[in-house]
Amino acid sequence: MPLFFFKHIPAGSLHGLFNLETLDLQENNVLSVYEYSTFFDTPNLRRLDLSKCNVWKMVDVELPALRTLKLGSNSISSIDSGIEKHLPAIEELDLSFNHLTTLYPAAFNSSETLKGLDLNGNNFLCDCQLLPLVDWIKDKIEHETMDVIGASYYLCEKPHVAYSQPILLFVDQLDCSPPVPPTPTVHSAAYVIEVVLGVLAGLAVVVAVGVACYCRLRTSDTSSSSLSSVIDDTSSDRRSSLSACCEWVATRLPFFVNSANRSRNRGFSDDEGRNLMITTPLATPTDPQPPEMLL
């Protein structure tokens, strides 16, 4: 029978009641339950009803024989650990109309005795953190391993777009896949500059190799013709020109290649890249121009 005059249950007030199995304190609106140590003195308590009793937290002491616990219409906002730790024999748990927003299956999943659970009327926050609970409830319903009382009527409180939507439908439609990391962006101007300098460096190498091969071929031709007894002045001038050209290519080629590579590997911002293309000329050696070839 409910007791309407209790405001507080002093510690030790239930001491000696070893045979007490049922305690009904429901609808004691003036009763505030901040701790459960008082009920620790009733080791054979099997049914406890604290509905509408200003309960602020879940059971935090071991009640080894308790089978039914009714905590509906209170102010419980979280369950910090698995219920099996303090309620090893629990079969029916009523947490309806509390202030629960997010729950994790770990709170109930380890209990091997729990057969009925009521979470109606809580203020569920329907985001991806609630998805594990939704999947757990669906699994229990599908395999009929637990009676999740009124699960189809569990409603979202927040966000606003989900207000009064069934959690089993709304949360299941959310995209809760892991976010894809953003693709690195490339500064367009710097990228263009790098491509252009790379092409120029490649062309410089090709031209230099072509000139070197040409010089070597012509030098070889002129060397074989030197075995003849008649060498005119024009052939002598060509050999001198070719020799000077080959010498110039051999000494200047590393400079051009290294200069192009340094420019290509240097990082530029977009503004620096534009300034470089507009106002800065390509690097050129300070050495004299190559001698003209006399052909």
Render pLDDT for 84-94 as a digit per residue (tens, 0 to 9): 999 999 999 99
Amino acid at 165: Q
Mean pLDDT score across all residues of the chain: 78
- Residues 6 or more apart whose CB falls under 8 angstroms from that of 204 comprise 256, 257, 260
- Give the pLDDT confidence score for residue 194 in this predicted structure: 76
* pTM for the predicted model, two decimal places: 0.60
Domain co-membership, 193 together with 167: no
- Give the pLDDT confidence score for residue 188 in this predicted structure: 64
Domain co-membership, 72 together with 133: yes
- Check which CATH number belongs to the domain holding 128 and give it: 3.80.10.10
Domain co-membership, 193 together with 80: no
The number of folded domains in the chain is: 2
Average pLDDT of the segment spanning 17-44: 86
Domain co-membership, 32 together with 168: yes
Higher pLDDT, 2 or 168: 168
Label residues 220-231 b or e (16+ Cβ within 10 Å = b).
eebeeeeeeeee
Domain co-membership, 35 together with 103: yes
3 in any annotated domain:
no
pLDDT at 119 over 80: yes
CB atoms within 10 A of CB 14: 17
Domain co-membership, 153 together with 195: no
Q: What range defines the domain where residue 45 resides?
A: 22-173
| pLDDT band for position 279 (cuts 50, 70, 90) | very low
285 in any annotated domain:
no
Tokens representing 56? 């602020």
Distance CA 70, CA 47 (A): 8
Domain co-membership, 155 together with 196: no
